[in-house]
Amino acid sequence: MQKLLTTRNADMMKRLHSFLQRRGVPVTVSEHGNQLELWLVQSSYSALAKDLIAEFKADPDGAEAELEQASQASPRAQQTPSLVQQLLRQAGLLTIIYAVLVSLVFALLNTQLAMPLFENLRISDSFTDLPWLQPWRFLTPTLLHFSVLHFLFNVFWWWYLGGRFERAYGSLYLLIALVACAVFSNVMQFMVSGPYFGGLSGVVYGLFGIAVVVAWQRPAHPLFLPIGLIGFMLVWLLLGYTDLLWVNVANTAHSAGLIAGLVLGIAIRVIEHINKTNTAHGS
């Protein structure tokens, strides 16, 4: 995250925050003592954000009026976005690509290609040897889903959590999270139960762990999760260790993914703190 502005003027900050958000710039506001700080969530918007702030400072009323006129002049602004448009707005490129891959593999697993596909995507052909000569297998079990409910549950949470994470931090960060959580959760599950498992749940719980840490006590953060949702995810995790669920659950992958996500979330908070400190010292 990048600090854009510091002020004591709450009304101006409120207007500027709204102005930038309406222009599609991902920003958030935090309090530091008696100061309000405007932070840019995704660094790729830095140049646009600075230009818009300069425009707003030069003539706040004019900038807001121009934005309002543009909104009224655009026919699309008068239309309610379709469900597909709303879903696409909630995700980034990597989120979409991986969801499509998971969907394609699920469709193929319900054809005559199911067995050769599973044999090539499972983590290993052995119960004891990790696939060091075929490293993609550390990741590919995340593409395997064996029931409609399993598939829908994981794709939904991947889109919800992964999409928000990618929109906030960028595709590179999501790729790192995907690989780290997938490899750790898949290896841990393999060591416990062998190669006959699959699913994106370890990554989903990893993204959940990241969201809990980076947005903890930060309700304005784009990854902030309500306490009810956090409770649901934890209860579902614990239920997997009982005999109450009607499906087989890769519990180790879930728990390992969550642990990996918590660690990544802490790392992101540390990086944000370092960047914030360096920015404060440089200003």
254: annotated active-site residue? yes
pLDDT the model gives residue 114: 94
| H or E element at residue 6 | strand 2-7
Instruction: Name the active-site residue from 150, 201, 221, 255.
Output: 201
Boundary-marking domain end, from 79, 103, 126: 79
Where are the alpha helices (H) located in 135-250, listed in sequence order? Answer: 148-157, 163-169, 171-193, 201-214, 227-239
Same domain, 18 and 147: no
Boundary-marking domain end, from 79, 105, 134: 79
Strands 2-7 and 35-40: antiparallel
201: annotated active-site residue? yes
Residue-range definition of the domain harbouring residue 201: 83-272
Q: What is the CATH number of the domain that holds 7?
A: 3.30.70.2350
Same domain, 100 and 227: yes
pLDDT tens digit sequence for 262-277: 999 999 999 988 888 8
- CB 233, CB 208: distance < 8 Å: yes
Q: What is the CATH number of the domain that holds 187?
A: 1.20.1540.10
Boundary-marking domain end, from 79, 95, 120: 79
DSSP, residue by residue, 38-104: EEESSGGGHHHHHHHHHHHHH-HHHHHHHHHHHHHH-GGGGSPPPHHHHHHHT--HHHHHHHHHHHH
Same domain, 268 and 144: yes
The number of distinct structural domains making up the chain is 2
* CA atoms of 86 and 154, how far apart (whole Å): 19
pTM over 0.85: no
pLDDT tens digit sequence for 151-171: 999 999 999 999 999 998 999
Same domain, 24 and 113: no
The parts of the chain modelled with pLDDT lower than 70 are 1, 43-44, 70-84, 87, 243-248, 280-283
DSSP 8-state class, residue 282: H
- CB 184, CB 229: distance < 8 Å: no
pLDDT the model gives residue 119: 95
